[in-house]
Structure 1
């Protein structure tokens, strides 16, 4: 639907005021998270503590204003701690500031050259391994501070010296550090209503109060306030410029990759919102690093901890990030005395937890499930034993070797028929890339099939070269010449001519194809589907299911209608373990079963996202319009929960008006309004996860996303599909 310019102008000031009311509280939340983290990261980097606050201010204001990810919050990050500590030890602090400023200029050049897309080619196992190596290094070094000592340089030295430090532990520092770590671990497990303040802030305040009883505990020492800490970098003629150039490139690359990964994560948290501009984000990050380096601050990246706090606190625009930077500036100028009360062991305990959290079990499971665990482990080991750049290089080399191995490797296995006297065929399953390099292994495996037995050869291959094809063709011809039956199948190929792929066909479609006998009773379609799963999909999906056997960690809860045409896995292209799905008549947030599912998803599984999906031609919505919600009737009793949606439509709900103006019928308009009303119901129940609304246009095979600010459903694709073109004629941007 379209809106007149005058109408848009009238709504702009109101929208700005509404956004500001959301951004100010969010900025305060992020400010409370940023202060202790910034001080702790400066401590771990071997930099002046105020350098962390300088970077937090510059990251919030400069990157917040210029960056391409409006809801991302930038500042000093744990991912650069090891790099900065090495540079400080090698060149000194002022030269490190010069390196930071130079890295910012390189990032600006990256953004202008539009190279952000190339960062997406770095394997996730390398990135996650790099972060894990950094996290382990931080945790090991800061353990020494918790024990009352000084942090050694490097993970190996920290590990070697740890037993001696334990023997000489300072009891007061250990008590303060242990209290900090304990509170940080306990805080996420407390009820949501108790967790009003960020856990990091609560832990540092508690440890500071505890330290008042322990005067011997070392505390933060500051030379002055934030303004007095600003120092320009020194340029000397005899600097080792080759080493400085390497440091510039290292900070530029690591900061760019970490910022872009954080921006992608923020985009995923705000489904339906405008996506970030990665090239503009690099320019904003580069400007922030240049200014931070010139003012004596730490290097800056987009930080997922602060960004997620920003999104979860309800931030709407980039004003939240900018305001958070201003609050940090006020704190660093006016409240220096408060900072000097903080014990070093408290900041070290905070960093031990932050570093440990960079080693995420989900990343390890993902690397294993994709066969990249060696890449992950090699990157971690390289970062720990050598340094960050060499560790990443090792990870990239290992990733290349894994890719090469997959390119030349085929998995061939023989499956014998079940039972003592089998009547079925022997199965030979060939998976992967079948090239001439795999022919010797293929020949050895095929030779294990007994002569004269029927064989089903299943080719689940990405590529089949001429040599491998010729070998298979000759083997098949030889078997058939001896009277043995050989059937060659390609699971996933089209079942017959132009019929749809098996995975997207209905029972009635694919069971009418050759090889299927059709229906024989009410159980036949279901049982035939189970048999097809065992024959064509079970072997392919078994590795994934084995990884999920220990439990589930879905990415979201999807509430959709029980209508048989709405297939959650199909419309979201999700697989096992991706979505915790609830289906009921009319996708209503009602009933004991729904409340139980919601509680389990949010409190046990802790899903980050809840989506509600309505659809066209919904029988429940038609029933509401026809007035079937009469007491005493089971369906009527259930649909009574949808009456508020009906009343909202009749009262002129903007989502309904937009749908009707776009050419949808009253049933579809009510279905869209119902999605919006169910999101309101979820918010009233205090759900903390991100929320989004979807609408499945069945005849157009198109999923629309609710833009809650504009109060209308929008297509993800600006160009509407041919099936829904008539409905999209009201807008050239695919707005419904």
Structure 2
């Protein structure tokens, strides 16, 4: 009887994809990683070979094990200040041991699934931390660009800067300034910016230095790299000092890696990152890097975005880039010793300045979080990373408590009736002022208490109830009212409670709208776009109509056409979301054909006809979360979302923006009863749940997919 053998090797299509996409991308990332890794090592006070070891390990280990397929890991500018401090305090061998311990802690965080809590940090604190690190790196490397030596702190670097500026350093200044100029100017040159600017700058300045700068300080690598590795040893210090060092490296590396992974996910349409697995991969990389005497490893957005832009499709690109670095160092390390140190400093100077992003500042200002950002950045730059982040977190917490305690309590008297209006968030912190206001009402008065609070905790409830009973015992009467459902009353309540958001709305009014998304959904009153997407004022440009329809270009639906073209061409939205929903009356009316003859509704529902034809060609649709087959109207509603996504591409501006990578089309289907959203994919035969999980169509001939390509029907 013949036996069958099962091959575990990747199919030919996978190898073809690696050769056509991942191999070229890995070479691009390899070329940009070399100067960045050397520059970060030099800025951190680490041996230069340690930066290259971290780049190799980050590419191979984190690339193979991590949960973000297209993220590239290695030494990162965000850890420069931390590593420099550890080297000064403990020495390099002990810093390598701390890196190893931090990696083990990261693995533990990933295995216990609490690593994702790092993303719960206030964005203002995280971006402020990166800005503070960026300023520190920029000022530090400015000294090296000018041919001098960086000092140990920001204050010392600033204090020494005037003397550095008036000192003549000859060739080093030329090399550094020329590097900065090329890094800034190269991306502005059309058709050549596919080659990374740092690579062009370092190669050009190195070539110039080889010809005309014989005395410039250059990279100094050991003759035998493997024999010169400084292996880890146990650090000398108190348990508290060592624990603080390990926690700092682990937390900063984790936060930077996870934020980078989330950012990379937005750059491509492939599989989303598994953050817990990514943390395990980063921990494994740091453990191995520390054992080999390398620097700490994190996910790096600069290399990762380059990887995506270069066309990478799988994690093979990251792994290959690490192998190229290892081969280059072992076989051609002498070429690296031609690079001027001032050139590496110039690359790091620009990298540091780019950590201070104006887009983040504008967003945080719009959401009234700029103070936390500035305080964190200044604290990190002046006091140190741990101290600055701690100050930022404390300030963010104080602001949250202040907002929670900021209930508005007013009392007015008219015709013998006292009206007490309580709005905002009423918790125990605001009970004292509430009780004072209530006790100011004369005994025996008739009182109406209007509660329009966002949150009422038990302490506040007890305070109101105790006062109510006491006031009634003294001969008065109390009527407690919740907010009324009437629209005009709701408007008045909003105006009375809008003080907390008025500054943000005033800024939006002054600066104009800059939404990131166009949200097209049904006019159904049960659909609340801001609730589904957890967004706020200024985040979405919204179009609502019966059936969330997008008639193709030229269908004489001027209102929808105008909204789409304005959103894409004028507002420059990054995505268009079409959101259908369960129990859709428009879908049910279309199937029943019961719209009044000659009515506007009947004319509008004719746009549903392509969706009906598409739905007929689909197998049963099973919701993968519940295992329940969708009813006919819901199946039509799902198919309708896919058709509307295709209709969007009939608009030239939409098609052009999507082809250029400036716009993403997203389909959503909201199950009202389950309060759950599903992604509708129109070009691939599979369903993506809103949390990023994918379920392929394989289930006894039924489809777990929400939709398939309508153009194929």
TM-score, normalised via structure 2 length:
0.74
Q: In the alignment, does 2:506 pair up with 1:546?
A: yes
Contact kept in structure 2, 1:66 and 1:284, CA below 8 Å:
yes
Other-structure match for 1:130: 129
Other-structure match for 2:666: 693
CA distance in structure 1 between the partners assigned to 2:9 and 2:56 by the alignment: 34
Other-structure match for 1:273: 271
Q: In the alignment, does 2:349 pair up with 1:380?
A: no
Aligned with residue 704 of structure 1, among 661, 675, 678: 678
CA distance in structure 2 between the partners assigned to 1:436 and 1:83 by the alignment: 38
CA distance in structure 2 between the partners assigned to 1:47 and 1:573 by the alignment: 44
CA positional deviation for 1:432: 2.6
CA distance in structure 1 between the partners assigned to 2:184 and 2:489 by the alignment: 47
Aligned with residue 464 of structure 2, among 461, 469, 490: 469
Distance 1:662 1:301, change over 3 A: same
Distance 1:176 1:708, change over 3 A: farther
Other-structure match for 2:4: none
CA positional deviation for 1:80: 1.1
Unaligned runs of 5+ in 2: 1-7, 554-560, 594-601, 623-628, 694-698, 709-713
CA distance in structure 1 between the partners assigned to 2:570 and 2:664 by the alignment: 16
CA positional deviation for 1:59: 0.3
SS of 2:407's equivalent in the other structure is: strand
Aligned with residue 574 of structure 1, among 512, 530, 535: 535
CA distance in structure 2 between the partners assigned to 1:437 and 1:572 by the alignment: 31
Other-structure match for 1:677: 646
Distance 1:480 1:132, change over 3 A: farther
CA distance in structure 2 between the partners assigned to 1:211 and 1:621 by the alignment: 74
CA distance in structure 1 between the partners assigned to 2:664 and 2:161 by the alignment: 46
Other-structure match for 1:558: 518
CA positional deviation for 1:597: 3.2
CA positional deviation for 1:316: 3.5
Other-structure match for 1:597: 567
CA distance in structure 1 between the partners assigned to 2:108 and 2:360 by the alignment: 31
Distance 1:636 1:215, change over 3 A: farther
Q: In the alignment, does 2:296 pair up with 1:299?
A: yes
Contact kept in structure 2, 1:172 and 1:217, CA below 8 Å:
yes
CA distance in structure 2 between the partners assigned to 1:206 and 1:287 by the alignment: 36
CA positional deviation for 1:351: 1.8
Distance 1:211 1:539, change over 3 A: same
What is the 5 A alignment of 1:152-167?
A: 152-167=151-166
Unaligned runs of 5+ in 1: 1-8, 496-509, 517-527, 627-634, 720-726
CA distance in structure 1 between the partners assigned to 2:24 and 2:612 by the alignment: 33
CA distance in structure 1 between the partners assigned to 2:73 and 2:423 by the alignment: 49
Other-structure match for 2:406: 410
Other-structure match for 1:196: 194
Distance 1:592 1:111, change over 3 A: closer
CA distance in structure 2 between the partners assigned to 1:659 and 1:357 by the alignment: 47
CA distance in structure 1 between the partners assigned to 2:441 and 2:458 by the alignment: 22
Distance 1:153 1:718, change over 3 A: closer
Contact kept in structure 2, 1:615 and 1:697, CA below 8 Å:
yes
Contact kept in structure 2, 1:97 and 1:296, CA below 8 Å:
yes
CA positional deviation for 1:658: 7.5
CA distance in structure 2 between the partners assigned to 1:118 and 1:319 by the alignment: 29
Distance 1:431 1:669, change over 3 A: closer
Distance 1:706 1:305, change over 3 A: farther
Other-structure match for 2:556: none
| Aligned-residue CA RMSD (Å) | 5.2
Contact kept in structure 2, 1:429 and 1:459, CA below 8 Å:
yes
CA positional deviation for 1:158: 1.0
CA distance in structure 2 between the partners assigned to 1:469 and 1:573 by the alignment: 31
CA positional deviation for 1:300: 0.3
SS of 2:149's equivalent in the other structure is: coil
Distance 1:301 1:426, change over 3 A: same
CA distance in structure 1 between the partners assigned to 2:229 and 2:515 by the alignment: 46
CA distance in structure 2 between the partners assigned to 1:728 and 1:404 by the alignment: 54
Other-structure match for 2:324: 327
Distance 1:621 1:601, change over 3 A: farther
Distance 1:595 1:412, change over 3 A: closer
CA positional deviation for 1:403: 5.1
Contact kept in structure 2, 1:375 and 1:395, CA below 8 Å:
yes
Contact kept in structure 2, 1:434 and 1:463, CA below 8 Å:
yes
CA positional deviation for 1:220: 3.3
Contact kept in structure 2, 1:50 and 1:222, CA below 8 Å:
no
Contact kept in structure 1, 2:638 and 2:706, CA below 8 Å:
no
CA distance in structure 2 between the partners assigned to 1:22 and 1:647 by the alignment: 39
Distance 1:223 1:233, change over 3 A: closer
SS of 2:457's equivalent in the other structure is: strand
Contact kept in structure 2, 1:288 and 1:300, CA below 8 Å:
yes
Aligned with residue 250 of structure 1, among 248, 251, 254: 248
Aligned with residue 432 of structure 2, among 439, 453, 475: 439
Contact kept in structure 2, 1:695 and 1:704, CA below 8 Å:
yes
SS of 1:410's equivalent in the other structure is: coil
Distance 1:535 1:650, change over 3 A: closer
SS of 1:705's equivalent in the other structure is: strand
| Residues 112-131 of structure 1: CA deviation (Å, up to 9, x unaligned) | 44442443454444433332
CA positional deviation for 1:669: 6.5
| Residues 353-394 of structure 1: CA deviation (Å, up to 9, x unaligned) | 222232344555666677665654444344333332333344
Other-structure match for 1:500: none
Contact kept in structure 2, 1:432 and 1:462, CA below 8 Å:
yes
Contact kept in structure 1, 2:260 and 2:301, CA below 8 Å:
yes
Moved more, 668-677 or 250-259: 668-677
CA distance in structure 2 between the partners assigned to 1:342 and 1:416 by the alignment: 76
Other-structure match for 1:724: none
Residue-pair matches, total: 661
